[in-house]
Amino acid sequence: MSQLKRAKIILKILNKIYPKTPIPLKHKNTFTLLVSVALSAQTTDLNVNNVTKSIYKKYYKPIHFVKLGRKRIERLIGKIGLFRNKAKSVYLLSKQLIEKHGGKVPRNFKDLENLHGVGHKTASVLMSQKFGIPAFPVDTHIHRLAQRWGLTNGKNVIQTEKDLKRLFPEKSWTKLHLQIIYYGREYCKARECYGVTCKICTTCYPGRKNPIKTKKA
């Protein structure tokens, strides 16, 4: 079975299972989504949501976080892993937004990726989910599943992103990236399936018997 044929099968299955794809990180506006994505590194969306639900009631603009200062931000997000580094990033990116962008989140990759602590994946989330610009953010779930499904060699997340963009229609990217994340959390988990038990793996590789080892992001 060719990669393109597998991609078509995968898209059909995911559209059936996940016709709607709400953004898993709760947020109040574009800026708070940026903050939540920055906070979500090496922790769960649920953990981020539990911490931010009370924060965003009072603090939801860059100026709010600049006025809070790093130490108070640290106390507010203390239950999230790596909270000191993340508090520094949130404070500095908020300051940058005020000083360079009039307090607004920029609508292009270059300016987003120049914000403190914002990488290509975070910028891609903002571009696709908030600005409607086609992008394909690749996180650990997507990187793992793309390898299990034979869509990429898993060399790195950059290569995985290129391969997925080549195989799937551009109009599907924004929704598909979330569909794959949901599927990876529910059916093709990191320590389950291993490429041999879930519906997509068994459909794409019906004769596969041995677990698939994947490269980490």
Instruction: Read off the pLDDT of residues 22-47 as tens digits, 9 standing for 90 and up.
Output: 999 999 999 999 999 999 988 999 99
Average pLDDT, the chain: 95
Distance CA 61, CA 207 (A): 53
Distance CA 196, CA 204 (A): 10
pLDDT band at 81 (very low <50, low <70, confident <90, very high): confident
pLDDT band at 217 (very low <50, low <70, confident <90, very high): confident
Neighbours of 88 (CB within 10 A): 15
Residue 104 pLDDT: 97
Give me the sign of the Cα torsion angle 156, 162, 166, 168.
Answer: positive
Average pLDDT for 35-62: 95
What pTM did the predictor assign?
0.91
pLDDT band at 21 (very low <50, low <70, confident <90, very high): very high
All structural domains of the chain: 3-21+136-204 (1.10.1670.10), 30-129 (1.10.340.30)
pLDDT per residue over 98-141, tens digit each?
999 999 999 999 999 999 999 999 999 999 999 999 999 998 88
Residue 216 pLDDT: 83
Average pLDDT for 47-66: 97
Average pLDDT for 158-180: 97
Alpha-helix runs per DSSP H in 40-172: 45-58, 62-76, 83-101, 109-113, 120-129, 140-148, 157-167
Closest CA to 164 of 132, 124, 199: 124
Distance CA 25, CA 55 (A): 14
